[in-house]
Amino acid sequence: MEKTVNQKAWFLILPVLILVAFSAVIPLMTVVNYSVQDTFGQNQFFWAGLEWFAEMLESDRMWDALGRQLMFSAIILTIQIPLGVFVALNMPKSGFWSSFCLVVMSLPLLIPWNVVGTIWQIFGRVDIGLLGYTLDALGISYNYTQDTFAAWATIIVMDVWHWTSLVALLAFAGLKSIPDAYYQAAKIDQASRWAIFRYIELPKMMGVLMIAILLRFMDSFMIYTEPFVVTGGGPGNATTLLSIDLVKMALGQFDLGPAAAFSIMYYLVILLISYVFYTVMTTVEKNEG
Amino acid sequence: MAEITLDNLAHSYSPNPKGEGDFALKELNHVWSDGEAYALLGASGCGKSTLLNIISGLLHPSQGRILFDGKDVTQATTADRNIAQVFQFPVVYDTMTVRANLAFPLKNRGADPKYIAERVQRIGAMIGMEAELDKRARGLTADAKQKISLGRGMVREDVNALLFDEPLTVIDPHMKWELRTQLKSLHHDFGHTMIYVTHDQTEALTFADKVVVMYDGRVVQIGTPQELFDTPQHTFVGYFIGSPGMNVIPATVTGKHAIVHGNEVELARGYDALDGKVEIGVRPEFVRLTDGPGLPVTIRRVEDVGRHKIVRADLFGSPINILAGEDQSISPDMTHISFDPARVNVYVNDWLKHGKAA
């Protein structure tokens, strides 16, 4: 059959192209533009080539921030995924209490990031915060502005509080989709509780769990607002995660060139990891079908 | 293997059943003899699965007791009852191999690994999946998955009963026949008590020694296929078994005669005066198309199904089915029907009324 040639179709996607150009491509190109130039003020720019990239790759500062970032994401994933699954397994499956749990668990998800940060910032204060005051009264030394461990503990608990519900809701949806016959068959086969989880529930939840892991990884890898509000990256640089460091560099020190190079590498890392996740997920799904 | 007794059993899904209508399963007393193969036959929603789930212990009855060999197991768990059950839709453990799937019930009961290996191999051969034993269950066809479910049901030798809940619904017709034959030979070899739920009469009649017909939460007849055909106890049985089902015609009955719209029909037995809704039931096999005398009919159409012809006709405004031989020619002057008197059953309020032999 002869293929119809109709170039008019291009006009139909023009609006979307323009929109994407203004919202994503042009800003990104601006960053690329900064990343290869240097300036000494007066709006005069000089070609710097890949100098900034080389400098960033050699700087301990970025590697430290990346290390902290990876550690943060790893910790919250190891807590949130099992905890979310555990919560989902123990939720009432139907009736009033099921709906009640769903609503209560959705609440943290609806709170804006900076509000979450503020809540925990106040909650943890030793002078007026319920948590900080209680811990202090119990004789436990807790001060997230000075103690690295306390600062990390605070931002991790905060993130767990904020986002475990998401994992739980996704896992719950996965559990609900398992037909009753599976549980009945397991009873007939005298499967233990662990075997039911291992051979029925976990395989059926795998798809949604992959999505949960991807979402939580991406989100935690780009986290900015909450730890910034609570610790501001401190004490010292102890909780300076990638995006906090980036903002410090770009807006605090106004080092546009290095910050732009940093951004681009940050972006590429996220892109790479997303790609890996996507590949893994589609393979898993193919095996399931 | 066990004899299963249902004593005053009834079940309602509502916590406070008010009338009989609230019961999915109406009061029932029955003994399932040890080692027999039963088919539980009925239309969808008549309580078949409810009854099955009560026997297997997945459901606890609102009323009555269940006894296995005289021992009360009403409150016992499914595991304690030691029952195997196969469900309508295939249940397989996706991440396991076919072999592990079949071994699962034995493994959970702590059987000897050597015995498990042997037994699984045998069952694998029985369901025709020996070649696929080391494949993962995920990705197999629905057919194959259901065969695994069947295999898992049959893998334990010491079960008290084997229950099947419409297990062949998803299997294609050729395989259906083969698996049914295998189930039957399995029953023959091991003598398990088997209960097989289905809404397909062919399946029920070919599989079972005895067919239990359920209608609206009630067991209406238990009998051999022959009994169900010859003397349906309830008009539903007559209608449900047979293809097409029994013709049920409103009539009045006096002595040895039935009157249908003023026309006399001869009966083989005599009846006393009957109260209630009186009908006569005649299977299409025993209705003969003639050129008179008899009841006047109008032929609507003739369906030739190969072995015989089904004549769809009108009798005083209601449809009636007649079975005619393949070589019988049907001519325009065949406007009357007559019945084989010995094959005419009389029903009062849908239940069979036995007449006195004359």
Kindly state whether residues B232 and B310 are assigned to the same domain.
no
Which of B240, B272, B306 terminates a domain? The answer is B240
Quote the domain boundaries for residue B37: 4-240
The per-residue pLDDT for B136 is 85
Question: Does residue B267 contact residue B346 with C-beta atoms inside 8 Å?
Answer: yes
- Residue B203 belongs to a domain with what CATH number? 3.40.50.300
Question: Does residue B165 contact residue B196 with C-beta atoms inside 8 Å?
Answer: no
DSSP B97: B
B206 by DSSP, 3-state: which?
A: helix
Using CA atoms, how far apart are residues A255 and A249, in angstroms rounded to an integer?
6
Beta-carbon contacts of B32 under 8 Å, excluding residues fewer than 6 positions away, are B3, B4, B5, B6, B38, B161, B193, B195
Burial class (CB in 10 A: 0-12, 13-18, 19+), B56: buried
Give the residue with greater pLDDT, B205 vs B1.
B205
CB nearest B91 (choices: A182, A195, A203): A182
Kindly state whether residues B254 and B190 are assigned to the same domain.
no
CB contact (8 A) between residue B91 and residue A190: no
Average pLDDT over residues B146-161: 86
pLDDT digits (tens, 9 = 90+) for B234-250: 998 888 888 888 999 88
Chain B partners of A185 at a C-beta cutoff of 8 Å? 85, 87, 91, 149, 152
pLDDT digits (tens, 9 = 90+) for B183-221: 888 788 778 888 888 888 888 888 888 899 988 888 888
Nearest 10 degrees: CA dihedral of A97, A100, A101, A106? 160
A288 interface with B at CB cutoff 8 Å: yes
Kindly state whether residues B191 and B313 are assigned to the same domain.
no
Architecture of domain A60-288: Orthogonal Bundle (1.10)
CB contact (8 A) between residue B78 and residue A191: no
Q: Residue B77 has which token pair?
A: 């768990």
Kindly state whether residues B179 and B226 are assigned to the same domain.
yes
Beta-carbon contacts of B244 under 8 Å, excluding residues fewer than 6 positions away, are B284, B310, B321
A14 interface with B at CB cutoff 8 Å: no
In single-letter form, the type of residue at position B107 comes to K
CB contact (8 A) between residue A203 and residue B95: yes
Tell me which chain A residue has its CA closest to the CA of residue B103: A189
Q: Residue B58 has which token pair?
A: 């997945």
Kindly state whether residues B195 and B277 are assigned to the same domain.
no
Chain B partners of A287 at a C-beta cutoff of 8 Å? 138-139
Chain B partners of A199 at a C-beta cutoff of 8 Å? 93, 95-96, 104
Kindly state whether residues B121 and B172 are assigned to the same domain.
yes
DSSP B333: T
Please name which of B114, B116, B86 lies closest in space to residue B103, comparing C-alpha atoms. Answer: B116
pLDDT digits (tens, 9 = 90+) for B85-108: 888 888 889 888 899 999 998 988
A187 interface with B at CB cutoff 8 Å: yes
Kindly state whether residues B234 and B324 are assigned to the same domain.
no
What residues in chain A have per-residue pLDDT under 70? 1-2, 285-289
Supply the ipTM of this predicted assembly: 0.74
Kindly state whether residues B252 and B233 are assigned to the same domain.
no
Tell me which chain B residue has its CA closest to the CA of residue A286: B139
Q: What is the C-alpha radius of gyration for chain B, rounded to an integer number of angstroms?
A: 24
Give chain B's contact residues with A (Cβ, < 8 Å): 53, 56, 58, 77-79, 83-85, 87-89, 91, 93-96, 104-105, 108-109, 138-139, 149, 152-153
Give chain A's largest Cα–Cα span.
83
Which of B182, B205, B240 terminates a domain? The answer is B240
The per-residue pLDDT for A287 is 64
A189 interface with B at CB cutoff 8 Å: yes
Question: Does residue B231 contact residue B352 with C-beta atoms inside 8 Å?
Answer: yes
Chain A partners of B149 at a C-beta cutoff of 8 Å? 185
Among B50, B58, B77, B89, the strongest candidate for a mutation testing the A interface, having the largest count of A CBs within 10 A, is: B58
Using CA atoms, how far apart are residues A237 and A225, in angstroms rounded to an integer?
16
Chain A partners of B83 at a C-beta cutoff of 8 Å? 188
DSSP A2: P
Using CA atoms, how far apart are residues A173 and A167, in angstroms rounded to an integer?
10
- DSSP states of A54-114 as a string? HHHHH-HHHHHHHHHHHHHHHHHHHHHHHHHHHHHHHS-SSSHHHHHHHHHHHHHHHS-HH
Q: Which residues pair with B303 in a beta bridge?
A: B310
- Relative orientation angle of helices A148-176 and A60-90, to the nearest 10 degrees: 40
pLDDT digits (tens, 9 = 90+) for B5-16: 888 888 888 877
Chain A partners of B139 at a C-beta cutoff of 8 Å? 287, 289
The per-residue pLDDT for B325 is 83
Among A189, A204, A285, the strongest candidate for a mutation testing the B interface, having the largest count of B CBs within 10 A, is: A189
Distance from CA of A29 to the nearest CA of B (A): 46
**Structural domains counted in chain B:** 2
CB nearest A188 (choices: B84, B89, B138): B84
CB contact (8 A) between residue B96 and residue A199: yes
- Number of Cβ pairs closer than 8 Å across A and B? 54
Which of B240, B269, B294 terminates a domain? The answer is B240
pLDDT above 70: residue B48: yes
Distance from CA of B129 to the nearest CA of A (A): 20
CB nearest B93 (choices: A184, A187, A199): A199
- Locate all alpha helices (DSSP H) within chain B, ordered by sequence: 48-56, 78-81, 98-108, 113-126, 142-154, 173-190, 201-207, 225-230, 235-240
Tell me which chain B residue has its CA closest to the CA of residue A197: B93
Kindly state whether residues B219 and B255 are assigned to the same domain.
no
Please name which of B346, B356, B354, B355 lies closest in space to residue B235, comparing C-alpha atoms. Answer: B346
Question: Does residue B8 contact residue B29 with C-beta atoms inside 8 Å?
Answer: yes
Please name which of B162, B118, B124, B168 lies closest in space to residue B146, comparing C-alpha atoms. Answer: B168
Using CA atoms, how far apart are residues B155 and B194, in angstroms rounded to an integer?
14
pTM exceeds 0.80 = no
Kindly state whether residues B65 and B166 are assigned to the same domain.
yes
| CA distances from residue B167 to A35, A83, A230, B94, B179 in whole angstroms, order as listed | 67, 38, 60, 19, 10
Average pLDDT over residues B215-231: 87
CB contact (8 A) between residue A181 and residue B96: no
Question: Does residue A273 contact residue A260 with C-beta atoms inside 8 Å?
Answer: no
Phi, psi angle pair for B248, to nearest 5°: -115, 120
Tell me which chain A residue has its CA closest to the CA of residue B81: A188
User: CB atoms < 10 A from the CB of A54, how many?
Assistant: 12
Chain A partners of B87 at a C-beta cutoff of 8 Å? 181, 184-185
Kindly state whether residues B258 and B195 are assigned to the same domain.
no
- Could you tell me whether strands B252-260 and B4-12 are parallel, antiparallel, or unpaired per DSSP bridges? unpaired
Question: Does residue B40 contact residue B195 with C-beta atoms inside 8 Å?
Answer: yes
In the numeric block, the tokens 């009846």 are attached to: B271
Distance from CA of B159 to the nearest CA of A (A): 11
Distance from CA of A196 to the nearest CA of B (A): 10
Q: Is the sign of the CA dihedral B189, B194, B199, B201 positive or negative?
A: positive
pLDDT digits (tens, 9 = 90+) for B276-330: 888 889 998 898 888 878 888 888 888 888 888 888 988 888 889 988 888 887 8
Host H or E run for residue A6: none
Cβ-count burial A166-198 (b if 16+ within 10 Å, e if not): bbbbbbbebbeeeeebbbbbbbbbbbeeebbee
- Relative orientation angle of helices A148-176 and A202-221, to the nearest 10 degrees: 140
Distance from CA of A142 to the nearest CA of B (A): 46
Among B81, B86, B87, the strongest candidate for a mutation testing the A interface, having the largest count of A CBs within 10 A, is: B87
CB contact (8 A) between residue B88 and residue A181: yes
Phi, psi angle pair for A158, to nearest 5°: -60, -45
- DSSP states of A203-231 as a string? HHHHHHHHHHHHHHHHHHHT--HHHHHHH
CB contact (8 A) between residue B105 and residue A287: no
Among B80, B96, B104, the strongest candidate for a mutation testing the A interface, having the largest count of A CBs within 10 A, is: B104
CB contact (8 A) between residue A185 and residue B87: yes
Kindly state whether residues B157 and B305 are assigned to the same domain.
no
